[in-house]
Structure 1
Amino acid sequence: MIRAFVSSSCTSRGKTEEALKQSGVDYEVRDFFRSRLTVAELKSILVTAGFSARDVLSTRSRVY
C-alpha cells in the first residue's frame, strides 16, 4: 500500500493521483491540511523514509 500525503491546493496532487491510478497499485491519499498528522505519525514517516525534519521542509512556501 502506498500512502500519499498531499495538499488539496497543490498542483501536483492531481498528477500524483492519476499516476497512482494508472499504476494499478493499492494506494490511499491523505490531505494533511484537512487531516493533520500526529507527532507520532510524522516521526514514523521520517524514520521510515530516512529523512530529517529539515529534509522535508517546504522552503518554497510562504509560511517558511
Structure 2
Amino acid sequence: MQQIAQLDLSPTWAFGVRWSPSGKTLAYAGHSSMIYFVDDVEGSPAVQNLALRDLPLRDVDSFCF
C-alpha cells in the first residue's frame, strides 16, 4: 500500500471514503453531516462540500458520482 496524498481540507473526522469510477475524485463523509468531494488529489486539490441534515454521516455509499 502506498500513500497518494495527505489531505488537511476540513475540520472534521472523516468516516466513509470512496473513489469515483474514474479515480479522479475522492468523496468522504464527515462527522459534521458534510460530504466532501476532492478533485485533483495528486496535484492541487479542489474541494466542494454538501451539507446534509442528519448526524452523523458515516458513509458515502448512497451517493453516486
Both proteins in one fold, TM over 0.5: no
Asked which structure has the greater CA Rg, the reply is: 1
TM-score relative to the length of structure 2? 0.19
Identify the structure with bigger relative contact order (alpha carbons < 8 Å, sequence gap 6+). 1
Give the structure with the higher percent helix: 1
Give the structure with the higher percent strand: 2
TM-score relative to the length of structure 1? 0.20
